[in-house]
Amino acid sequence: MNISKLRLTARGLLVSCAMACGAAGAAEIVVGQIAPLSGVLATTGAQMVLGGKIAFDAVNDQGGVHGAKIRTIVLDDGYKVDETVKLTRQMVAKPEVVALFGFAGTSNIGKLLEERVMADAGIALVAPYSGGESLRSPFNPWIFHVRAGYAAEAEHMVKQLNTLGIDRVALLYQDDGFGRSGQAGVEAALARRGQKVVASATYDRVTGNVDAAVQEILAAKAQAVIMIAVNKPAAAFVKKYREAGGGGQLFNISVVDPAELVKLGGLNNVRGLGISQVVPYPYQGGLPVVREFHETLKKYAPDQAVNYTNFEEFVGAKVLIEGLRRAGPQPTRAKVLAALESIRNHDLGGITISYGPKERVGSRYVEVTVIGSEGKLLK
């Protein structure tokens, strides 16, 4: 995967669309996206932008929304909380931006809530790449989630482990809002079964150093390890844990790319790793929306591979597009917010999304996949 090329593509959206649309004087709808196109989450950020971009490209080629083309402004926050806040403030200061799309990071988005950035701007954020429960509870009207929360993912993983007779579970998590949200979900799922984690280890989100965590979890002799981790530290943990003799069943929450884990951690170490997923299996076209995704990716980014991240954000972009359609011609922030809230049991082609006045979690779908012996993700 050419990350540099994707990053340039993402940053070039504003310029290219201005040339294609603005020069001709055509109406446009402006959407803002802030993504981690550099730093520890750069691979994920590039795929997030790609998934949204191809969906917007496709609808623009079909005439746009009520005749208006969607123009996306993409900025890079490097997965840094302060940068997310600064760039979002700059974004919402532009009155033409009617919605936000596809941000990443529980702590990053949580800070936007804490500082009332979206509330003061009266603007919706659609399809953030986070399952953080702090973004869902207490209820806020600004964030329209497309994915289930980390608590639902944790429940699914713990249930599967208990079905296998495994109850000595250790936990590795990133030491921030993202990791602590997942930690709370795992501990609650275990508590419902009268169990506790046998070890709970953290790593720093900036350095990604997992050495101490490996030793702590090895010492606990856990039968399984649930990781609330992103690509690089997850791969580093798996590699070092396996090479040190760790034999527990490994699981990770949905925010990792299996191809990146294989590349960084080595196939011998990561095969058998379970990954919870919050959208249906995207590698085979069993659902209409998956077939649509494959066709769209082939047309607009033929050199890029299918993965869960770009598929999830493609689905998220389709949700936003539906909201823009319902908002009518010349949408405003308030109209888009109300239109998104009006989406009930909307079928995207095998994935149903539903919101309401007090409901912002559009889907609660969860399943677990496994990295197979050839490095491919299996259901």
The string of DSSP letters for 17-32 reads HHHHTGGGT--EEEEE
Of 125, 120, 119, 16, nearest to 69 by C-alpha is 16
Asked if the model's pLDDT at residue 37 lies above 50, the reply is yes
Average pLDDT (318-340) is 97
Q: Per residue in 338-375, pLDDT tens?
A: 999 999 999 999 999 999 999 999 999 999 999 999 99
Using alpha carbons only, how large is the chain's radius of gyration in Å?
Answer: 20
Q: In this structure, how many other beta carbons lie within 10 angstroms of the beta carbon of residue 58?
A: 20
Choose the weakest-confidence range: 2-11, 191-200, 368-377. 2-11
* Domain limits, the chain: 3-149+284-353, 150-277
pLDDT at position 20, please? 37
pLDDT tens for each residue of 49-62: 999 999 999 999 99
DSSP state of 358: T
- CATH number for the segment(s) 150-277: 3.40.50.2300
- Other Cβ atoms less than 10 A from the Cβ of 260: the count is 21
Residue with the bigger pLDDT between 206 and 246: it is: 246
Alpha carbon 230 to its chain centroid, in Å, reads 11
pLDDT of residue 27: 86
CB of 28 within 8 A of CB of 317?
no
What is the predicted pLDDT for the residue at 285? 81
At 22, is the pLDDT very low, low, confident or very high (cuts 50, 70, 90)? very low
Tokens of 352: 């149903």
Q: What is the mean pLDDT of residues 141-162?
A: 95
Would you state the pLDDT for residue 293? 98
Percent of the residues in the chain that have a pLDDT greater than 90, as a whole number? 89
Q: Which of these ranges, 17-26, 237-246, 318-327, has the smallest mean pLDDT?
A: 17-26
Mean pLDDT value of segment 166-187: 94
pLDDT of 26 higher than 80: no
User: Strand runs (DSSP E) across 183-314, as ranges?
Assistant: 199-203, 224-228, 249-252, 274-277
What's the pTM value of the predicted model, to 2 decimals? 0.88
The answer to whether 276 touches 371, Cβ cutoff 8 Å, is no
Torsion of CA 109, 134, 274, 318, to 10 degrees: -50
What is the predicted pLDDT for the residue at 17?
40
Residue 315, pLDDT above cutoff 90? yes
Residues facing residue 35 across a β-bridge: 76
pLDDT of residue 24: 36
Average pLDDT over residues 187-211: 95
SS (H, E, C) 45-109: HHHHHHHHHHHHHHHHHCCCECCEEEEEEEEECCCCHHHHHHHHHHHHCCCCEEEEECCECHHHH
Q: What is the DSSP string of 135-191?
A: GTSS--SSEEB-S--HHHHHHHHHHHHHHTT---EEEEEESSHHHHHHHHHHHHHHH
Return the minimum-mean-pLDDT range out of 5-9, 215-219, 253-257, 367-371.
5-9
Please tell me whether residue 193 adopts helix, strand or coil conformation.
coil
Query: pLDDT > 70: what percent of the chain?
Result: 93
Mean pLDDT for the stretch of residues 249-272: 94
The pLDDT of 218-247, averaged and rounded, is 96
β-partners of residue 352 are 347
Do residues 198 and 222 make contact, with C-beta atoms less than 8 angstroms apart? yes
- pLDDT category of residue 286 using cuts at 50, 70 and 90: confident
Residue 21 pLDDT grade (very low, low, confident, very high; cuts 50, 70, 90): very low
- Other CB atoms within 10 Å distance of the CB of residue 120: 10
Domains 3-149+284-353 and 150-277 share a fold: yes
Mean pLDDT within 316-329: 98
Sequence-distant (6+) residues with CB within 8 A of 50 are 6, 9, 10, 301, 304, 310, 313
Is residue 245's pLDDT more than 80? yes
| Mean pLDDT, the chain, integer | 92
How much is the pLDDT for 40?
A: 85
How far is residue 115's CA from residue 129's CA, in Å, rounded to a whole number? 20
Given a cut of 70, whether residue 23 has pLDDT beyond it is no
- The predicted-structure confidence for 139-150, as pLDDT tens digits, reads as follows 999 999 999 999
For the domain spanning 3-149+284-353, the CATH number is: 3.40.50.2300
Segment 220-249 mean pLDDT: 96
